[in-house]
Amino acid sequence: MLAIEDLRSRASGYLNQDQIDALTRAYQFGAHAHDGQRRASGEPYIEHPIAVASILADMHMDHETLIAAVLHDVIEDTPIGKDQIKREFGSEVAEIVDGLSKLTRMEFETHAEQQARNIQKMLMAMASDIRVIVVKLADRLHNMRTLAALAPKKRRAIARETLEIYAPIAQRLGMNQIRLELEELGFKSLHPMRYRVLAREVKRVRGHRREIVDKIRAAIKRRLRQEKIAADVIGREKHLYSIYKKMQQKHLPFSEVYDVYAFRLLVENVDTCYRVLGTMHNLYKPVPGKFKDYVAIPKSNGYQSLHTVLFGPYGVPIEVQIRTREMNEVAEAGIAAHWLYKSGEGEIVASAQQRAREWLRSVIDMQRQAGNSQEFLETVKTDLFPDAVYVFTPKGEIKELPKGATAVDLAYAIHTDVGNRCVGARINRHLAPLRTPLATGQTVEIITAPGARPNPAWLSFAVTARARSNIRHFLKTIQADEARTLGMRMLNRELESYGLKLDTVDKTQLDQVLAEMKLKSREQLLEEIGLGRRMAPIVARALTPVTAMLDGPATRIAEPTAQPLVIKGTEGMVVTFPKCCYPIPGDAIIGFVTAGRGIVIHREPCKNIADFRNQPEKWVDVSWAEQVDRDFQSEIRLDVTNQRGALATIAAAIAEQSANIENVQMTDRDDRYVSMTFIITVRDRVHLARVLRAIRAIKHVTRVQRTRS
């Protein structure tokens, strides 16, 4: 009960009594739902959601968010459903909890696909209510704080996902405080040795730096007093993960990365920011090219600040950030600052909210155009690492693009139609190709042409998620159109053998075939044929009524008289029996369409078909014909005592059962036993069983069986 009392205490500073009571009721509901469940660390499970809600209470999130945090695992881990939560706590809470619940009741081919679908669902839910991601980030933060109870392999997997997905999302939404802690905890779990080495070095060096830091801080404060400017001067420590990333990306030794002194100056308003900037440039000389104005041009997540680097005393570089206190709140809390400033929300906070919603709208566009959940996740990952470049359109509008963006990225940033029709660019009035990387301050005009269309080569240099997803979407649409045209041509060529065309096929027959093949439309069927996923002869046969087959050209029905029908429905088709599993009549079988080999018939337990499980469109339901008048190969293996004449005795027993021996191989197991592998021909499973019984009756045979695969 101490946990809920702590949560009530944190929330009582800004929530009213009715809201506190609702929060307590949510705790009782969640505690009952999770009764008997424990975390990997051994503590009662309810302590985790209470800890998540406490993190959110420190951010002054509203009471619906806190209730959703307390209940965030109820749908996923207990029998309680969304409707019950809606009845008890309202639709807003129910929607947030549902958005946080993983897709545990669905089947996925791989863990990567499951992860991608879970994140996809979360981002879609976040688009309708941004509080979904705020709760999820708090949930992930507490999980990272308590990661030590898990096995090392699972720790590393969760840490990697945190660094690749959740920390960048926190950064994209401006939630810097949570982002930094996620990065530090993720780094510690993913690379524990590197973390310890860096932590030891930072601790060692920090003591030598204290005197210099104190002198610089005193000099800054003294100059600000002389100018009669009120400001808080805060020394900033570089975080271990940012040190590690900088060393890794720029191939720098620790001494060069850490040998920077950083300060943050907080003032009352924007005008004072620029006054303080001038004061700092008078105190210490600025380093050319190192000034960045994120106040006039905020970052994509709403972050605002003035950044400058100065030549400090003793030749040391000094990084200085200058911002208002409201800017600092947004920089630390991001979109969550909206709830901190709920009464009289500030202009900067509203700007951060607006930018977050614009990003979420772009995420929805990516979702519509992505081929599958994993492609969507890769696109979002690309969009989560913006190191901004700012360029101007000819009309003077500022466009923000990630570092390395090209003219084609700008074209799609302006409008999808501009991107699809662009052919070149003018950069500072000079013609340039679309692959040209852009730099801050350039004026860029996109040149378009009516008949132009995206080129697949653009994917090799397009950087933004919007450009890449639009290019892929356009190319898929073009590919689908071309595939349908080809499929129509191939299918009509096969239907001509029956005196038919696709347009003359009975609609009932076509609908029946589409239903059997689990396809939605005629266009999808043609696309499948054009892309080689289905064979035109098989589709043509399925579309042809029996009367048309009998009345059709003799060449189509003459073939079965030359070769007995073995598999139902494959008249005129190439049928192959592979040597991996040696199927014979009576076996449960499945057909697989393979280019150049027609329909390949496998036994259902065959190990080799596992490689094709992810290509269900190529599977064909098949069965043996009623009367099969031919022999089939089958493989059997025997263990025999090493006796003279054993092979002759076995061969005679096989011959007595009217089976032929096609091949035999012998392997000495040891001095006493020999392994023999026979390829024999039999008519069906009954015939094979008689052969196995005859062999099993031989004195020297210790084991005989049919090979599986």
> 687 near 630, Cβ under 8 Å?
no
pLDDT of residue 302: 72
Asked, for residue 256, whether it belongs to a domain, the answer is yes
pLDDT of residue 2: 54
696 and 607, same structural domain? no
654 and 609, same structural domain? no
Distance (Å, whole) CA 306 – CA 314? 24
Q: At which of 349, 373, 404 does a domain end? A: 349
654 and 615, same structural domain? no
- Among 131, 532, 168, 180, smallest CA distance to 385 is for 168
Asked, for residue 605, whether it belongs to a domain, the answer is yes
Distance (Å, whole) CA 550 – CA 557? 7
> 684 near 677, Cβ under 8 Å?
no
Distance (Å, whole) CA 483 – CA 526? 7
Look at the alpha carbons of 286, 288, 290, 296 in this order and tell me if their dihedral is positive or negative.
positive
Burial class (CB within 10 angstroms; exposed 0-12, middle 13-18, buried 19+) of 669: exposed
pLDDT of residue 336: 61
- List residues with catalytic annotation: 76-77
CB-based contacts of 143: which residues, under 8 Å, 6+ apart?
48, 158
Amino acid code (one letter) for 336? A
> 635 near 707, Cβ under 8 Å?
yes
Look at the alpha carbons of 207, 213, 215, 217 in this order and tell me if their dihedral is positive or negative.
negative
H/E stretch holding 468 reads helix 465-495
Q: At which of 623, 645, 675 does a domain end? A: 623
Distance (Å, whole) CA 166 – CA 180? 11
Structural domain total, the chain: 4
> 450 near 429, Cβ under 8 Å?
no
Q: In angstroms, what CA-CA distances link 592 with 430, 519, 566, 595, 620?
A: 57, 18, 16, 10, 6
pLDDT of residue 566: 66
701 and 674, same structural domain? yes
636 and 615, same structural domain? no
582 and 651, same structural domain? no
pLDDT of residue 565: 54
CATH number of the domain within which 677 lies: 3.30.70.260
Asked, for residue 402, whether it belongs to a domain, the answer is no
CB-based contacts of 647: which residues, under 8 Å, 6+ apart?
664, 666, 676
613 and 651, same structural domain? no
Residue by residue, DSSP assigns 563-586 as S---BTT-TTS-EE--TTT---TT
Asked, for residue 558, whether it belongs to a domain, the answer is yes
> 536 near 491, Cβ under 8 Å?
yes
Asked, for residue 433, whether it belongs to a domain, the answer is no
CATH number of the domain within which 35 lies: 1.10.3210.10
Distance (Å, whole) CA 648 – CA 654? 10
pLDDT of residue 207: 67
Look at the alpha carbons of 270, 271, 276, 277 in this order and tell me if their dihedral is positive or negative.
positive
Q: In angstroms, what CA-CA distances link 63 with 23, 93, 624?
A: 7, 9, 66
Q: What is the pTM of this model?
A: 0.54
Q: Which structural domain, as residue segments, surrounds residue 614?
A: 553-623
218 and 243, same structural domain? yes
Q: Quick one: tokens of 77?
A: 């881990």
pLDDT of residue 692: 93
Asked, for residue 382, whether it belongs to a domain, the answer is no
680 and 618, same structural domain? no
Q: At which of 119, 145, 171 does a domain end? A: 145
Distance (Å, whole) CA 326 – CA 350? 11
3-state secondary structure of 306: strand
Asked, for residue 79, whether it belongs to a domain, the answer is yes
132 and 65, same structural domain? yes
Q: What is the 3-state secondary structure (H, E, C) of 318-378?
A: EEEEEEEHHHHHHHHHHHHHHHHCCCCCCHHHHHHHHHHHHHHHHHHHHHHHCCCHHHHHH
CATH number of the domain within which 281 lies: 3.30.460.10
Look at the alpha carbons of 607, 611, 615, 620 in this order and tell me if their dihedral is positive or negative.
negative
In the DSSP assignment, the letter for residue 239 is: P
Asked, for residue 196, whether it belongs to a domain, the answer is no
614 and 637, same structural domain? no
- Mean pLDDT by 10-residue block, N- to C-terminus, for the chain (709 residues)? 78 88 91 88 89 90 91 89 90 86 46 59 61 88 90 90 83 82 92 90 76 87 92 84 84 74 90 93 89 82 85 83 87 62 47 56 54 52 57 81 88 90 89 86 88 82 84 77 80 82 86 86 83 76 65 38 53 73 89 72 82 67 80 91 85 90 83 88 92 90 86
3-state secondary structure of 503: helix
Amino acid code (one letter) for 675? S
569 and 684, same structural domain? no
pLDDT of residue 555: 37
Q: Quick one: tokens of 345?
A: 């929300």
